[in-house]
Structure 1
Amino acid sequence: MKKYIYVVAVLIGLVYSCKENKAEFRNENTGGALGTSYSIISISSDELDLQKDIDSVFAVINHSLSTYIPDSDISRINKGDSTIMVDKMFQEVFNLSKSIHKETNGFFDPTVGTLVNAWGFGPERQISMDSLKIDSLLNYVGLDKIILDDSNRIVKDNPNIYLDFNAIAKGYAIDRLAAMLDAKGIDNYLIEVGGELVAKGKNTIKDKFWVVGIDDPEMEVNRATKIIINLNDRALASSGNYRKFRIDEETGRKYVHTINPKTGYTQLSNTLAVTILADDCATADAYATALMAMNIEDAFELVEENESLEAYIIYLDENGDTQEFSTEGFKALVVK
């Protein structure tokens, strides 16, 4: 499922300043990577040039996990190369994916791309679908049909299974950038890649927490902020496909299409957007994707039961009216 992320970072009043005996520097790095844009703000006691380190993180992520690079490890595995011994990053993403796949009852599934393309929601042309075709394609779908063996090689039940970590790799890349900054002793930063974020510490120059805005999913032309929250020592990821919907001819209600990776069929969803807070961005990224595909009541239950997550969900009720759901922990972070 293609993700549409509509979270924007709102950086309040960052300027160069000095405290009584200690200068603080605002380091800013922006650019393009992973098919999107990134912005990294860090505050340090010395002015730092972090660009080479940032480029290095993106380079190793791409070499391991990018399906857009023909000779990356994941691309070679998808082409049938069973000799690849995957690196530590691939192992971490694979094992986390397995865990979240189980926790979401299979709704997070990095093998679902075959179905997404077949139904016409991906980059490839839609094919004619019927029950026989769906049953055939389901042979290639299911993370439970893949293992990572003791020699760190991927073993598939079917060689045609296609792995795509698009719904978790961006979040993981942010986590690796955060680890790089941590290793350099930087305690205050805000990392944003394609709308996903990790914040640590605060804006010490202004002595304020990092503040981020979440887009209003019903603004189809001009972007507008729905709510603003304080984000400190947490990761945030959002998912939504609310700009791709159909109108029910009988009721006039809006519905978005999602793919059920367990049945192979498309299903109507009233969920417009999901924002997840977690301890790491890879986890937030994956859960935000999974909750978009789940029944809304099941999504509510999952985030209420998982104490490591906070959630903000925008959805349509049975009358077609927009409603909001927030966990208590999320509500506490909203800027009034």
Structure 2
Amino acid sequence: MARMITRRRALLIAAAACVLPTLGRAAPLARWQGHALGAHAEIKLVGLSAAEAAPLFARIEAELGRLEAEFSLYRSDSALARLNREGRLNAPSPEMLEVLSLAQSVHHRTEGLFDPTVQPLFALHARHFAAGTLPEAGEIAAARALIGLAGVEVSAAEIVFRKPGMALTMNGIAQGFVTDRVAALLQSEGLRDVLVDIGEIRALGLRPDGDGWHVGLSDGSRLKLRACAIASSSLTGTMVNPAAGIGHIFNPLGEGPTARAPALTANVIHRRAAVADAFSTAAVLAGPERVETWAEDEMQVIWS
């Protein structure tokens, strides 16, 4: 696909570089910006100058490149692209196995609403949008016949699709997973006060002023993050076909409208960004009442 279509980030970081007096000077705040998995990325490190943080940011960039080589839909040489093209991936990486294991868990918890095998349906609509046409009912039915996570066989030796034409997208979970990986890397270096935004947001510690990291939601409200992550999804956040009202999040069960539902944003808070990412994708399809049945002590859903 020539045009990269990514999820619009519904959360905007409102954390300004507040200061904490240290020997009469403000605590340094190092900042990195770039792109990862098709999304804007930003990292803030409290207590390091730009020069001190430079080697660490270089390591992060290398790690981002390594993980993109696993999960990117837009790199023909990525492990995910090879799996989708060939229907089989030999000796999958530990990261690929971990993400698929989590996807299977969330798939079960959400009664099938989180399902990364919706990629054929996404690709069908994207192709038709690029051609200025709409898919026919038979094409949609054929794409839907390929959906179903039970059709993906996963083992340490290989990942295999049971049906030709199946494909996976990790766009509803990989950004959160990568966010967690970068946060873990920073923690391993002894950093305690960090904000990581790799499409989803993970906060460690506090801002330089000792307060939680401030995050603005899509409705203009604000909250503070402390030692947790937040991910957001909206049916209208990114449109595959704006004229037809087709959004980028497809219901794998074929239940109800996809993009013409109320434009609510599901903001899921969890200690892990990958979990928040996956649940927010399913939550926006389920709606507030159904999401309550998924409740757990570690997870909070805020609608905006």
* 2:169 aligned with 1:164: yes
What residue is the counterpart of 1:330 in the other structure? Answer: none
Larger Rg: 1
1:76 to 1:213, Cα distance in 2 relative to 1, 3 A? same
CA distance, structure 1, for counterparts of residue 82 and residue 69 of structure 2 = 11
> How far has the Cα of 1:24 moved from its partner?
4.3
1:92 to 1:15, Cα distance in 2 relative to 1, 3 A? same
Q: Which runs of 4+ in 1 moved over 4 A?
A: 119-127, 255-258, 264-268
> How far has the Cα of 1:276 moved from its partner?
0.6
Query: Are the counterparts in 2 of residues 259 and 266 from structure 1 also a CA contact under 8 Å?
Result: no
> How far has the Cα of 1:12 moved from its partner?
3.3
What residue is the counterpart of 1:106 in the other structure? Answer: 112
Query: Are the counterparts in 1 of residues 192 and 204 from structure 2 also a CA contact under 8 Å?
Result: yes
Deviations 1:253-286 (A, max 9, x none): xx98663212387455235211010111111111
* 2:251 aligned with 1:260: yes
Give the match's secondary structure for 1:67: coil
Higher relative contact order (CA closer than 8 Å, sequence separation 6+): 2
Deviations 1:59-97 (A, max 9, x none): 111111111111111111111163521111111111111
What are the ranges of 5 or more consecutive residues in structure 1 without an aligned counterpart?
217-225, 246-254, 315-336
* 2:281 aligned with 1:289: yes
Query: Are the counterparts in 2 of residues 270 and 296 from structure 1 also a CA contact under 8 Å?
Result: no
> How far has the Cα of 1:44 moved from its partner?
3.1
One-letter code of the match for 2:251?
N
CA distance, structure 1, for counterparts of residue 149 and residue 290 of structure 2 = 21
CA distance, structure 2, for counterparts of residue 193 and residue 108 of structure 1 = 20
* 2:302 aligned with 1:308: no
Query: Are the counterparts in 1 of residues 228 and 272 from structure 2 also a CA contact under 8 Å?
Result: yes
CA distance, structure 2, for counterparts of residue 237 and residue 122 of structure 1 = 29
Deviations 1:127-167 (A, max 9, x none): 5332x54443233111111021242x101111311111011
> How far has the Cα of 1:236 moved from its partner?
0.6
Query: Are the counterparts in 1 of residues 120 and 165 from structure 2 also a CA contact under 8 Å?
Result: no
CA distance, structure 2, for counterparts of residue 299 and residue 124 of structure 1 = 34
> How far has the Cα of 1:214 moved from its partner?
1.0
What are the ranges of 5 or more consecutive residues in structure 2 without an aligned counterpart?
240-244
1:2 to 1:68, Cα distance in 2 relative to 1, 3 A? closer
CA distance, structure 1, for counterparts of residue 238 and residue 71 of structure 2 = 27
How many residue pairs get matched? 289
1:38 to 1:86, Cα distance in 2 relative to 1, 3 A? same
Instruction: State which of 4, 11, 15 in structure 2 corresponds to 1:11.
Output: 15
Identity rate of aligned residues, in percent? 24
- What is the 5 A alignment of 1:210-249? 210-216=213-219, 226-242=220-236
One-letter code of the match for 2:235?
N
CA distance, structure 2, for counterparts of residue 285 and residue 26 of structure 1 = 27
More strand by share: 1
* Farther-moved stretch of structure 1 (132-141 vs 228-237): 132-141
Deviations 1:268-305 (A, max 9, x none): 52352110101111111111111111244212333xx3
CA RMSD of aligned residues (A): 2.8
1:2 to 1:111, Cα distance in 2 relative to 1, 3 A? farther
Instruction: State which of 78, 81, 88 in structure 2 corresponds to 1:82.
Output: 88
